[in-house]
């Protein structure tokens, strides 16, 4: 693991997920740029200090010196955004499989370079769009692919949070201490780069459609904020199909409200992350139907994605574990269902979306190709 040391929520989530799926063992890494914290974390995790490295370069050198059956097979990259590309590139070029946090890189050009390296090396690259791991999101994907909604006529996705309010309305030191507000670490976007891209990914993942053009209207909320914290993005898919993504980090009281609705001519599907075991199918002619995990009426993909019997709630760790499990199958050369883990291609699509959104807003809210 690169990053994810003391106090890092996402690093902890990745470690829990890898353990839940029973396909991985954490044997070493670079957990913090602070030497003392790096070492202390390794001690706390029971990791051999000989595999607690000071940097990615030293990790690669030492691991490659080990016999092939002893060295690390895969590396999870859970650092701030600015460090994803350099670490991923070095690791891929030296034969390591990757699980990477999103967004994949800082620029579209970097994303395309990683895609080319993955294509050349044939290594596994899994991107942590965690919401694709929920059983009912996978059921939604299957139902849509079967055409039961009829003609898709509208797609809405929303991701509302409120956590950043306490920082931006505090002191200047609190604002500058949040890396997601700093373009040097976060990239060109905060809100759309962090959470809007999840909504974008869910739309393309569940429907199998690609968004062709977007028009965005973003807000920094305050003069001293450099990146967007709120925004609305209109979507064009081609033909008559339109949609919208609404994302915000300043909706007071909202926690992690990501939802998606796909509306068709015969039926519609709705799913919400804060109540993830329920997938609703709506119709003008029939009562609303509810799909839940661990039932035979679901498709194969949903059924291999739950870990508990009916009525036992599963959540974010289990969803991320499904992505880790899919990556493990790929690393071993085993057969897996397309969609078991987001790939480098989804990383490229995400970066194209983020930059298109920022450019659309900067150029006066104009339609921009993704």
List per-residue pLDDT tens for the chain, 370 residues long. 999 998 889 999 999 999 999 999 999 999 999 999 999 999 999 999 999 999 999 999 999 999 999 999 999 999 999 999 999 999 999 999 999 999 999 999 999 999 999 999 999 999 999 999 999 999 999 999 999 999 999 999 999 999 999 999 987 777 777 888 999 999 999 999 999 999 999 999 999 999 999 999 999 999 989 999 999 999 999 999 999 999 999 999 999 999 999 999 999 999 999 999 999 999 999 999 999 999 999 999 999 999 899 999 899 999 999 999 999 999 999 999 999 999 999 999 999 999 999 999 999 999 999 9
Owner of token pair 């998606």: 260
User: pTM of this prediction?
Assistant: 0.95
- 333: phi then psi, degrees, rounded to nearest 5: 80, 20
- Secondary structure (DSSP) of 306-326: --S-TT----HHHHHHHHHHH
Q: How far apart are CA 288 and CA 285, in angstroms?
A: 9
The Cα 50–Cα 189 span in angstroms is 38
Domain limits of the chain? Answer: 2-130, 134-302+344-362
What's the rounded Cα separation, in Å, for the pair 308 and 167? 38
Number of Cβ within a 10 Å radius of residue 297: 10
The two domains 2-130 and 134-302+344-362 share their CATH topology (first three levels equal): no
User: Tell me, which fold does domain 2-130 have in CATH?
Assistant: Rossmann fold (3.40.50)
101: which DSSP letter? P
Average pLDDT, rounded, for the chain? 96
Task: Sort strands 74-78 and 230-238 into parallel, antiparallel or unpaired.
Answer: unpaired
Phi and psi at 315, nearest 5°, equal -140, -145
Strand pairing partners for 271?
260, 279
Share of the chain above pLDDT 70, in %: 100
Helix (H) or strand (E) holding 243: strand 241-248
pLDDT in tens, 10-44: 999 999 999 999 999 999 999 999 999 999 999 99
Strand, helix or coil for residue 47 = coil
Per CATH, the homologous superfamily of domain 134-302+344-362 is: Dihydrodipicolinate Reductase; domain 2 (3.30.360.10)
Among candidate residues 350, 252, 272, the one with its CA nearest the CA of residue 315: 272
The two structure tokens encoding residue 241:
């199909």
Which has the closest alpha carbon to 269: 146, 160, 159, 161? 146
Model pLDDT, residue 177: 75
């Amino acid at each position: 693991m690169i990053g994810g040391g003391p106090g890092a929520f996402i690093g902890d989530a990745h470690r829990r997920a890898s353990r839940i799926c029973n396909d991985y063992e954490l044997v070493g890494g670079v957990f913090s740029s602070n030497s003392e914290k790096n070492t202390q974390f390794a001690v706390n995790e029971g990791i051999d200090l000989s595999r607690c490295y000071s940097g990615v370069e030293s990790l690669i050198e030492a691991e490659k010196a080990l016999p092939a059956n002893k060295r690390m097979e895969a590396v999870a990259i859970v650092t701030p955004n600015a460090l994803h590309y350099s670490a991923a590139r070095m690791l891929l070029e030296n034969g390591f499989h990757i699980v990477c946090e999103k967004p994949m890189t800082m620029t579209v050009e970097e994303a395309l370079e990683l895609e080319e390296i993955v294509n050349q090396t044939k290594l596994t690259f899994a991107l942590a769009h965690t919401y694709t791991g929920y059983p009912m999101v996978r059921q939604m994907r299957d139902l849509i692919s079967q055409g039961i909604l009829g003609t898709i006529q509208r797609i809405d996705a929303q991701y509302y949070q409120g956590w950043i309010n306490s920082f931006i309305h505090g002191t200047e030191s609190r604002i500058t201490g949040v890396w997601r507000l700093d373009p040097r670490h976060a990239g060109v976007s905060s809100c759309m780069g962090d959470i809007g891209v999840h909504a974008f990914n869910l739309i393309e993942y569940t429907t199998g459609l690609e968004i062709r053009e977007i028009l965005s209207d973003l807000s920094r909320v305050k003069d001293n904020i450099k990146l967007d914290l709120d925004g609305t993005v209109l979507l064009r898919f081609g033909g008559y199909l339109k949609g919208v993504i609404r994302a915000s980090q300043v909706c007071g009281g909202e926690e992690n409200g990501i939802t998606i609705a796909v509306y068709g001519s015969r039926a519609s599907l709705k799913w919400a992350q804060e109540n993830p075991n329920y997938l609703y199918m709506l119709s003008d002619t029939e009562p609303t139907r509810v799909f839940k995990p661990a039932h035979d009426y679901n498709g194969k993909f949903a059924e291999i994605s739950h870990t508990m019997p009916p009525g036992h709630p599963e959540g974010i760790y289990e969803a991320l574990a499904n992505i880790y499990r899919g990556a493990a199958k790929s690393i071993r050369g085993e057969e897996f269902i397309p969609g078991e883990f987001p790939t480098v291609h989804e990383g490229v699509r995400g970066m194209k979306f983020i930059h298109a959104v920022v450019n659309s807003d900067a150029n006066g809210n104009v339609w921009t190709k993704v």
